[in-house]
Structure 1
Amino acid sequence: MNLPSFLWLWRIAAWSMGLTLTGYVLLAMTGGVLYYTRSKQQQRSAWLRPLHIGLGTAIVVLVLVLLAIGIVGTLGEYGRLGHSFHLLFGLSVVALVLASAWSASRIAPERPWARPLHVGLNSGLALGLAAAGLSGWQVVQKYLP
């Protein structure tokens, strides 16, 4: 089949993954400050929690963009999915990000289970992002001339 080059798509994916990793680090930092101020019962800046929520929302959007690019690019190049472990790792990241966002929306004094679940999911997300990033790098190498 004579398909156009998907190089532009991989550039968007590379930027999206880079922004996702940067956002994850910023989320970990802001989450750490939120935890510290909460545990020490200190006053925190009014902008910190909205920034944390905004970064989390951005991560959800970026990961869904990466999912769409992966599906479109792989189907366009191969006509089917499942050529590597990257599909499994990518779907795991999507599931962890969505579960983390859901658990974040549940955090409240009357639901003490939500905060540890949110933190635990984000810890697992670090491993998922590392696995998806490394396997994605291998996949993209197949497409480069």
Structure 2
Amino acid sequence: MDLPSFLWLWRIAAWSMGLSLTAYVLLGITGGWMFATRTQKKPRPKGLRLAHLILGGTLVTLVLLLLTIGIVGTLGYYGNLGHSAHLPAGLVVVALVLVSVVSGLRIHAKRPDMRRLHVATNVLLFVAFAAVSWTGWSVVQKYLP
């Protein structure tokens, strides 16, 4: 396919990645705030958990959108996948986001292991986002003239 016909797809991907990173940072802030209120035995502000859940759902949606754009764009441009380390890095991000969601939704006082898994997954997600950003930048350089 012609590269100019893909520019709209890459714009959506760039915005989605920026919004994903923003959602991740906001999730860290709201998660840290919930942790602080829990450890300091203070009342949690109303809507904080709901905001955290909405941000998490937004992150999942954006990451799945990025996966779809990556697959469609790469198949459309090259005809196959696997041209860089960006695909495995992206798949790791998708997997970690899904593990984070499942573990986050299972957090309960009777299951403290889920909280630890959720936090550990999100620490790893920081590294994975860095890797996918780095490899994504190199992919973008291939498409630019």
TM-score (norm 2): 0.96
Structure 1 20/3 Cα, relative in aligned 2: closer, same or farther at 3 Å?
Answer: closer
Please state if 1:12 is matched with 2:27: no
Equivalent residues of 1:30, 1:48 under 8 A apart: yes
SS in structure 1 at match of 2:28:
helix
TM (normalized to structure 1)? 0.96
Deviations 1:99-134 (A, max 9, x none): 000001110112111001000000000000010011
Identity %: 61
Alpha-carbon displacement from aligned partner over 1:64-103 (angstroms, at most 9, x marks no partner): 0000000000000000000000001000000000000000
Tell whether the 8 Å contact from 2:104 to 2:114 is kept in structure 1 after alignment.
Answer: yes
Residue 86 and residue 35 in structure 1: after superposition, are their counterparts in 2 closer, same or farther (change >3 A)?
same
Which letter maps to 2:134?
Answer: L
Q: Counterpart of 1:95? A: 95
Shift, 1:3, TM fit: 6.7
User: How many residues get paired?
Assistant: 145
Classify 1:6/1:53 alpha carbon distance in 2 versus 1 (closer, same or farther; 3 Å). Answer: same
Corresponding residue of 1:69: 69
Between the aligned partners of 1:120 and 1:20, the Cα distance in structure 2 is: 19
> Are the aligned partners of 2:3 and 2:143 in contact in 1 as well (CA < 8 Å)?
no
Aligned positions of 1:10-89 closer than 5 A? 10-89=10-89
Contact (CA 8 Å) 1:3, 1:76: kept in 2 or not? no
Q: Which protein, 1 or 2, shows the higher relative CO under an 8 Å CA cutoff with sep ≥ 6? A: 1
Unaligned runs of 5+ in 2: none
Distance in 2, matches of 1:132 and 1:4, equals 24
Moved over 4 A (4+): 1-4
Measure the CA separation in 1 of the matches of 2:89 and 2:55: 22
- Give how far 1:29 is off: 0.5
- Which residue identity lines up with residue 26 of structure 2 in the other structure? L
**Equivalent residue letter for 2:125:** L
Residues 32/2 of structure 1: CA separation in 2 closer, same or farther (3 Å cut): closer
What is the distance in 2 between the residues matched to 1:137 and 1:112?
38
Q: How does 1:125-144 map to 2 (within 5 A)?
A: 125-144=125-144
